[in-house]
Amino acid sequence: MRIDLSDKMQEALNKQIAEEGYASNFYLALAYWCDNKALEGCKRFFLRQSEEERMHMLKLYEYLSVSDVHPITPGFNQPPADFKSIQEVFSKVLDQERSVTASIHSILKLAKDENDFNTQQFLQWYVDEQREEEAVIRTILDRIRIIGEGGQSLYYIDKEVEKVNTGIINSESTEA
């Protein structure tokens, strides 16, 4: 099924490929920052997030491909590698997710302006996904604020993130 995409839409979707790819690399960098801090629950959370963002990127590749558009494979900027605290890490993650959400909303607005109903429908999945992602990160940040930070606090934060991670994995396996 061929879908006609305007030049502006092609450009926007290719830009989103770059956004999702960067997010995947960002989460990978965070996973190994956590690994260096012996935060195994956080490491697993970010590794899973990295794979999820890569899958988001691949969905965009496929959408462009079935639309008879050759997707552009971007280079990615180097994600940050050093953070002062786990709270800073998750604050940066929330900023990243909000940036991706804004980008998706911008593309959705373009699709509406162009009466591109196929792309609108395709993007709805991303809208729902971003709402969920932001909610999970806000929950983790709330837990970090309650627990506080410090040597012993990091242990409990890591365990809370592992609970969130396990809950997500359990809910994904029941949806399948």
Q: What is the CATH number of the domain that holds 95?
A: 1.20.1260.10
| pLDDT at residue 5, as a whole number | 94
Residue 163 lies in a domain: yes
Residue 79 lies in a domain: yes
Residue 53 lies in a domain: yes
Residue 18 lies in a domain: yes
Residue 2 lies in a domain: no
How do residues 54-103 score in pLDDT, each as one tens digit? 999 999 999 999 999 999 999 989 999 899 999 999 999 999 999 999 99
Q: What is the model's pTM? A: 0.88
Is 8 a residue whose pLDDT tops 60?
yes
Find the domain containing 118 and state its range: 7-175
Residue 166 lies in a domain: yes
Is 174 a residue whose pLDDT tops 50?
no
Residue 126 lies in a domain: yes
| pLDDT at residue 165, as a whole number | 80
Residue 142 lies in a domain: yes
Is 1 a residue whose pLDDT tops 60?
no
How do residues 134-169 score in pLDDT, each as one tens digit? 999 999 999 999 998 777 888 889 988 988 887 764
Total structural domains within the chain: 1
| pLDDT at residue 2, as a whole number | 56
Give the DSSP per-residue string, the chain. Answer: ------HHHHHHHHHHHHHHHHHHHHHHHHHHHHHHTT-HHHHHHHHHHHHHHHHHHHHHHHHHHHTT--------PPPP---S-HHHHHHHHHHHHHHHHHHHHHHHHHHHHTT-HHHHHHHHHHHHHHHHHHHHHHHHHHHHHHH--SHHHHHHHHHHHHHHHHHHHHHHHHH-
Confidence of residue 176 (pLDDT cuts 50, 70, 90): very low
Confidence of residue 170 (pLDDT cuts 50, 70, 90): low
